[in-house]
A = this chain, B = another copy of it.
């Protein structure tokens, strides 16, 4: 009687360099991402089948959020170069690392590098695969909404910190898509000046749709000022972008415990939040628990109801799966882990089962994105619900029970000529 041996078509040791911040203030810090990557390593090892022979040796290096990332990669790669780089997430860190990795023929898989510039894979970013939806993917949501509801122009209000520049890059993506479709766009950076809600409001009059990306306090000040000027009655449509419910992008809550709470609750009835669509499947619960246990062991607790698992954490888990899929195919094809270009291209234009659901990577190596629009559905309680979903793979919008057409219809604008475009 022969027990079935663990089948392993190929045996291969893969050296992985994960380049992420050591600082836990980042949602994608080493301590947060590591448990997810380890979960994926265990899974790949334990499952009998094509990946059982792969061993991933993962080394973690501090990327900071800037130049340090490149220094880490260079200083650690002189002896032997890694076979795969995970991260960096921050744009300025990623740009430098991806360039060098592409030059070295090493695949880079990141749940970050979300800026539009990374979409050009023909040159310096040839080896980059993005397992989280980029800002251009998010921009498709706005493009679809503009088409659907016949809006014609927008004002972008954003807080450009000139360091990591998340809000700048987020709106750059939206700008790039809407501008190409000939929508008129004004932009207003509220960072360089003393933030002045009254001044923002003067600009609001000239545009139909206001798309904001800024910290929670700035958003609240603007919504309060808009409400006082009676601009929250349908003469304008307000959005804020809040992908991760983190301080990097703002925080949708109107509540502060100050004397303006009641007024803010009314104002926020006109605010729509664009966020990542989060889906959950049975297996996810187990993953989430393990990540939580591991991060708590190193002293990271998410107060304020924050989640342990976010798009970055999921993404880096899925990154290892995707790489294993591609490497297996490349080896079956007679090539090796050293053919970074081929492995990279095998990761593109395919759909696979990630930890939280299906992950679809487009032909350009960028993940298709699903996004939700949240709106206040209970004006008494001031609570928000998802009212629409946008599915990137087939570019469709789904209306949910809380959806109210009125809310997205412009009313009482001078010179307004409503026009329903084909959607």
Residues of A at under 8 Å CB distance from B? 67, 70-71, 74, 78, 96, 99-100, 103, 124
Contact = CB atoms under 8 A, between A and B. Distances in A.
Q: SS class of chain A's interface: helix, strand, loop or mixed?
A: helix
A71 B77 CA distance: 13
A100 B71 contact: yes
A96 B124 CA distance: 14
Contacts of A70: 99-100
A78 B104 CA distance: 13
Contacts of A78: 78
Contact of A74 (B67, B100, B124): B100
11 contacts: A67-B99, A67-B103, A67-B124, A70-B99, A70-B100, A71-B100, A71-B103, A74-B74, A74-B100, A78-B78, A96-B96
Nearest to A78: B78
A93 to B, nearest CB: 12
A74 B78 CA distance: 9
Contacts of A74: 74, 100
A397 to B, nearest CB: 35
A248 B93 CA distance: 31
A96 B96 CA distance: 8
Nearest to A124: B67
A332 to B, nearest CB: 31
A138 to B, nearest CB: 26
A411 to B, nearest CB: 38
Given A67-B103, A74-B100, 5 more contacts: A67-B99, A70-B100, A71-B100, A71-B103, A74-B74
Contacts of A100: 70-71, 74
